[in-house]
Amino acid sequence: MGENKKEEMKNWLETGIRETNDERLARTKKALESFERKENLIKHGKNMTDMEIINEANLKKILSEFISRLVEIEQLKASSKDRKFILLLEKLTQLIEQTLEEIQSEQKSLRIDTEKLLKKLDFFNLELERINNFKDTKIKETNKERDDREKRVADEAPYRQWSAPLTPRDKDY
């Protein structure tokens, strides 16, 4: 008796179904996929694959981040009276709103690239950080850039007479 025949007979005695282990695994996998599709149909109202669900969840998360940035900007606008600061916030608001409109237009054609959106979100986060620092120090830079500049100034302090002259941006000019 062949190896497959022995396997079929063994499985037939155990489960009452005549199939090899590979056939059994394929059948259970197909049953699980069918069950997942039915669950997704119930949850989302349409037949979606797992990757589509993951992409939709990522897109919703990114959109909520963009909207939270808009809310944060509006709160900063309301709390500030500095005209330059408000203008910077308005420009950033326009960029974010433009991005949201692009997402909405691309959503109809299903051509959304979440990695590009994440890069834009990182850019907007850095820009918001720069604008917040501008409010405090009147210098448009990120926290990392400010730390690097302050470290450079602190490192040069003992050798000030031999190094290049400090710029007006440096703290203890």
Q: For helices 114-137 and 143-156, what crossing angle results, to 10°?
A: 50
SS3 of 1, please?
coil
pTM: 0.51
Report, as an integer, the average pLDDT of 109-129.
79
95 lies in some domain: yes
Report, as an integer, the average pLDDT of 114-123.
84
pLDDT of 39 reads: 75
- Domain with 6, as residue range(s), is 1-48
Q: How many CA atoms lie within 13 A of 6 on its CB side?
A: 3
101 lies in some domain: yes
Identify the residue with better confidence: 15 or 115: 115
Domain identity same for 14 and 42? yes
Residue pair 135/80 in contact by the 8 Å Cβ criterion: yes
Domain identity same for 85 and 65? yes
Total domains in the fold of the chain? 2
Q: Return the residue matching tokens 């692009």.
A: 102
107 lies in some domain: yes
State pLDDT tens for residues 13-70. 777 777 777 777 888 888 888 888 777 767 766 666 666 777 777 888 888 888 888 8
Domain identity same for 62 and 120? yes
The C-alpha atoms of residue 89 and residue 160 are separated, in whole angstroms, by: 37
SS3 of 112, please?
coil
State pLDDT tens for residues 86-96. 888 888 898 88
Residue pair 68/125 in contact by the 8 Å Cβ criterion: no
Domain identity same for 59 and 94? yes
pLDDT of 19 reads: 73
Domain identity same for 43 and 93? no
Q: Reply yes or no on whether the pLDDT at 173 is more than 50.
A: no
155 lies in some domain: no
Domain identity same for 64 and 124? yes
